[in-house]
Amino acid sequence: MKNVLRRINTPSRVVVAAFLVVVVVGSTLLSLPVAVEAGQRASWTSALFTATSAVCVTGLAVQDTATHWTLFGELVILALMQIGGFGIMTLASILALVVSGKLGLRARLNAQAETRTLGPGEVRRLIAGVAKVTLAAEALTTAVLAARFFLGYGEPPGRALYQGLFHAVSSFTNAGFALWPDSMMRFVHDPWICLPLVVSVVVGGLGFPVYTALRRGPFHPGRWSLHARVTVGMTAVLLFGGTLAVLLTEWDNPGTFGPLPPGQRIMAALFHSAMTRSGGMNSVDVSQMHENTWLISDVLMFVGAGSASTGGGIKVTTFALLGYVILAELRGEPDVTVGRRRLPEQLQRQALTIALLSVASVVAGTFVLMMLTPFKLDQVLFEVVSAFGTVGLSTGITGDVGTAGHLALTVLMFVGRLGPATLGAALALHVQTRRFRYPEEGPLVG
């Protein structure tokens, strides 16, 4: 019995259990009659799906957030997004520091598994930085959005502040929930709404370890850690590369960019590229996009954001490391090097394991949803990748996949939020030594 408890109490499993508990509590609150508008049904499946989507900072929704949920329901969703964005163990550590000013070893190990820090000694400094960066970024975004809603759209001060806060939290945590049925489509022309949301999503998706590295010299990349350089570099490449690709494929599409002036088309392409990184909001109708744009979005959603960030996906560092492995193999080099640093073989195997298991999860989810729904492969694949990457974009089929489909997507969101991060932490912490080696032999490759 002690062995069983010891295994359950490992840091990675504690993180999973904590998220599961919060999902159950959130589902219970959202299933209460007080959480839904009069005349609406408080379905447990809908509550479970929405709570999982909020805690896993995904943004997929089976019900319109603004019209289905009451203010109480919206506040529950807001709280779940914030908890999911902080991370359960990180939030618990912050509260412990505030109350007692210290962290025990178990708390540091649990937070280490969630935040992907290199050692327990770094946890205290990191979680303090998490709190400062999160509160500062959300406060600044709230102020800009609230001012715009008040001055530009005539919203009452209290309503403007609430809308600003809700979307600031939703964007920084990469949750993707919005208080309008069309997400942010009504603001496609407004840079004072779209651009702050883009910045908030990108900043939230960099990852908290990057902020620590940037403090050493924001404008001196040579002082950054290797992780920070790779994350920032790949984020820029994918953000602007995705913008260009989406701009080329959607430029003349009458259902999306076609009616917009050139400047607004560029802004809409930037907005979509940023949101595929795990942001989840949309300023144009995703269901009207070309199928090749969906494919581009699938790739961006699968890669996702930075490690130990509020975003999902396999993470940009995993994607970049695999690219460096391929490049080294093509060059015939014995070592994989990045920025005059040699990558450990263990790290290469971790990246490969996470990527292949993520591919398997997407394939399995696509197969299941194809069996359960009548939709086309490209629509189903988009939905599955969006759920697994905790993105929240949809081609419009989320509400029509049925109860079994909703449960399948719920599992994908949970696995996508915790799977790659928890697996990465577990692999990093689970290193075994062997006192012997077998004779070398291998099959043909290719």
The confidence score (pLDDT) of residue 441 equals: 64
pLDDT tens digits, residue range 4-34?
434 445 556 677 777 888 999 999 999 999 9
Least confident residue range of 28-37, 212-221, 328-337:
212-221
pLDDT tens digits, residue range 256-290?
999 999 999 999 999 999 999 888 999 999 999 99
The confidence score (pLDDT) of residue 250 equals: 96
Residue type at position 210: V
Domain extent listing, the chain: 8-428
Count of residues in the chain: 446
Task: Give the list of residues 6+ apart from residue 81 with CB closer than 8 angstroms, or none.
Answer: 54, 55, 57, 169, 170, 173, 175, 177
CA of residue 374 relative to chain centroid, distance: 28
What secondary structure letter does DSSP report for 186?
G
Higher pLDDT: 440 or 354? It is 354
Question: Is residue 100's pLDDT more than 80?
Answer: no
Q: Above pLDDT 70, what percent of the chain?
A: 82
Query: Closest Cα partner for 179 from 152, 204, 203, 149?
Result: 149
pLDDT tens digits, residue range 40-93?
777 888 999 999 999 988 989 988 888 899 999 999 999 999 988 876 546 544
Task: Give the list of residues 6+ apart from residue 190 with CB closer than 8 angstroms, or none.
Answer: 148, 152
C-alpha span between 380 and 282 (Å, rounded): 18
C-alpha span between 350 and 252 (Å, rounded): 42
Q: How confident is the model at residue 109 (pLDDT cuts 50, 70, 90)?
A: low
Residue type at position 327: L
Least confident residue range of 106-110, 265-269, 373-377:
106-110
